[in-house]
Amino acid sequence: MERYNVAVVGAMGMVGSEMTRTLERRDFPIAEFRPLDIPANAGKTVTYKDNPVTVQAAEKANFTDIDIAIFSAGATAGKTLAPQAVEMGAVVVDNSSQWRMDPGCPLVVPEVNSHDLKWHKGIIANPNCSTIQMVVALKPLHDRSPIRRVIVSTYQAAAGGGRRGYEGLQTEAEEFIRTRRPVEARVHPVQLAFNAVPHIDIFQEEGYTKEEYKMVNETTKIMGEEAIEVTATCVRIPVFIGHSESVYVETAERIGADDARQILAAAPGVVVKDNPSNNEYPTPLESETEDDTFVGRIRNDLHNPNALNMWIVSNNVRKGAALNAVQIAETLTAMDLVRVHT
């Protein structure tokens, strides 16, 4: 079996740490594992397969002999360092928003559009976490009957804001329980603990946020269908890990709820949990240790015979970030799209 030199950029961060664990858990064929991070973290160690590995500074010279570089270091690092890594011979999978809408860069969810990897020029973009779990569930339905319209409301976990968001929620919750008074907002515009905040990223034209536009634009790019009409409302809720989505899907021809359950149950990466009479439906709490995307509350729309409503839940740190990036790397190797340094 071919083995690869793999770098994780942003290895000390929340998603970077999960990328390392995912590579280990899935036994990715690694010859050398090289964690990279900001210069201030150089010299620290991360654990890979029970061994301490020294963190190096994320700079061009340290991509020498790297075959695959998986980035979770933000858009600025993606913009500057990713092309440098490619120059050094690596294929980059970037988890930031920097390259997602670049027409020369594939935006990939392996269960949906792995074929787009064939035209990569060195950088592959990892989509937004909320988009990933939605398109994993949409694609099997789209294959049965073309999707015309999607209306989605998200209920996104604090971990969507990284370790700072995760820890900020914990601090707010502890303080609010202790004082029973409004607390200082740690990360979001207003207090998140015991609240719901319909504001993720910055507001843009027409009153939509950047996060909402990500879901609109990324969905059509990944699905390869510009004609799909997508409308999103993105909300941050006081859950630590696991994004939830209420999704209305309108198709060209009718797909009944029973058929949809069968289609989704057979789809890769999807688990149908849909028995409300026994209180069986997906919740974000159960997603904390899971890789799959869970779908439940599948039902026919009350007014449009060609529409369905469903509830989609997935671990935003795993499938929404680290796992999808590693799956892209796995697919690249399976398709022989990585040049191995010897």
pLDDT of residue 338: 96
Q: What pLDDT digit, counting tens, does each position of 272-294 carry?
A: 999 999 999 999 999 999 999 99
Q: Is the pLDDT of residue 192 over 80?
A: yes
Question: Same domain for 284 and 232?
Answer: yes
Share of the chain above pLDDT 90, in %: 98
The reply to whether 63 and 174 lie within a common domain is: no
Residue 146 burial class via C-beta count within 10 angstroms: exposed 0-12, middle 13-18, buried 19 and up: middle
Residue 188 covered by a domain = yes
Task: Kindly report the number of other CB atoms within 10 A of residue 270's CB atom.
Answer: 21
Residues 298 and 325 in one domain: no
- Residue 339 located in a structural domain: no
> How much is the pLDDT for 341?
85
191 DSSP assignment? -
> 118 lies in which domain range?
4-128+321-334
Burial status of residue 259 (CB atoms within 10 A of its CB: 0-12, 13-18, 19 or more): middle
Is 142 among the residues known to form the active site?
no
SS (H, E, C) 127-166: CCHHHHHHHHHHHHHHHHCCEEEEEEEEEECHHHHHHHHH
Q: How far is CA 312 from CA 121, 172, 245, in A?
A: 33, 27, 5
327 and 223 assigned to the same domain:
no
Same-domain pairing of 226 and 242 = yes
CATH number reported for the structural domain that contains residue 329 in this entry: 3.40.50.720
- Total count of domains within the chain: 2
Do 154 and 121 belong to one domain?
A: no
Q: Are residues 175 and 75 in the same domain?
A: no
Active site residue 105: no
| SS3 at position 261 | helix
Mean pLDDT of 255-284: 98
Active-site residue identified among 120, 142, 188, 243:
243
Q: Is residue 341 situated within a structural domain?
A: no
User: Beta 147-156 vs 243-251: how paired, if at all?
Assistant: antiparallel
Tell me which of 129, 142, 188, 234 is the catalytic residue: 129
The tens digit of pLDDT for each residue in 211-237 reads 999 999 999 999 999 999 999 999 999
- Please check the confidence at residue 342 and state whether its pLDDT lies above 80: no
